[in-house]
Chains A and B, each alone.
Chain A
Amino acid sequence: DAGVIQSPRHEVTEMGQEVTLRCKPISGHDYLFWYRQTMMRGLELLIYFNNNVPIDDSGMPEDRFSAKMPNASFSTLKIQPSEPRDSAVYFCASSPTPGQSSYNEQFFGPGTRLTVL
């Protein structure tokens, strides 16, 4: 398996523009997580899905952020409009359903480094 795939790997945009980050989880994994990592706040969970359904979006910072998972193999995180404080590395991770493996290890994608000017 290729692991979790994210695109783009780097994104530079201007304040006010829409940004869409993409993620393809590992095939067969039922959980998908979106994280944001900054020096100041560390690794923060934004939202997670189970079987394509959003379960907990309490970490989404504000209404400018939205996430979708239209099918088991694709998810998007959208920021509209973007602001300089959104600059961070955004990771997508997936994990199997507990019981399918001995523990619910999360596998991380390579991340998208977002810079908003």
Chain B
Amino acid sequence: GQNIDQPTEMTATEGAIVQINCTYQTSGFNGLFWYQQHAGEAPTFLSYNVLDGLEEKGRFSSFLSRSKGYSYLLLKELQMKDSASYLCAVSSNDYKLSFGAGTTVTVRA
């Protein structure tokens, strides 16, 4: 099975940087995903890591360390529209996704 942990809530100021950590224990690993979910909407894909290291995509970056079972999502130059829940998800060898409980990020002016 999968055990995925991430903080419940984080608050940051507009323009700042926030780092959301995710730790996981898995019986099989085929990559780690980050999804963004605004209230009342569906999750949407943000990033994917399968090899160790940093993947950068504009204001968002994601890091993976497979040996440590650790990932983080870095949100830079925060905007009000970034207020959402961020879900860490691990893909097992059969391509199922197991999701963490999500981190609610609140961006304040």
Assuming A31-B95, A43-B87, A95-B95, is B33 touching A111 (CB within 8 A)? no
Contacts of B50 in A (CB 8 A): 103
Contacts of B44 in A (CB 8 A): 108
Q: 0/1 per residue, B35-55, Cβ < 8 Å to A?
A: 000000111110010100000
Contacts of A42 in B (CB 8 A): 99-102
- Count of residues in A whose CB is under 8 Å from the partner chain: 21
- Count of residues in B whose CB is under 8 Å from the partner chain: 21
Closest chain B residue to A106 by CB distance? B97
Contacts of A110 in B (CB 8 A): 41-42
Q: Give complex CA distance A104, B33 in Å.
A: 10
Main secondary structure of the interface of A (DSSP, over half): strand
Say how far A5's CB is from chain B's closest CB, in angstroms: 12
In the complex, number of A-B residue pairs with CB atoms less than 8 Å apart: 44
B98 at the binding interface (Cβ < 8 Å): yes
B7 at the binding interface (Cβ < 8 Å): no
Binding site for B on A (CB under 8 A): 31, 33, 42-45, 48, 55-56, 91, 95, 98, 103-111
Write 11 A-B pairs (CB below 8 A) sorted by A numbering. A42-B101, A43-B43, A43-B99, A45-B96, A45-B98, A56-B94, A91-B42, A103-B31, A105-B48, A108-B44, A111-B42
Beyond the given pairs A43-B87, A43-B99, A110-B41, 20 more chain A to chain B contacts, judged by CB atoms under 8 angstroms and listed by A's residue number, are A33-B96, A42-B99, A42-B100, A44-B99, A45-B96, A55-B94, A56-B94, A56-B96, A91-B43, A95-B95, A103-B31, A103-B50, A104-B91, A104-B95, A105-B45, A105-B48, A106-B45, A106-B97, A107-B45, A111-B42
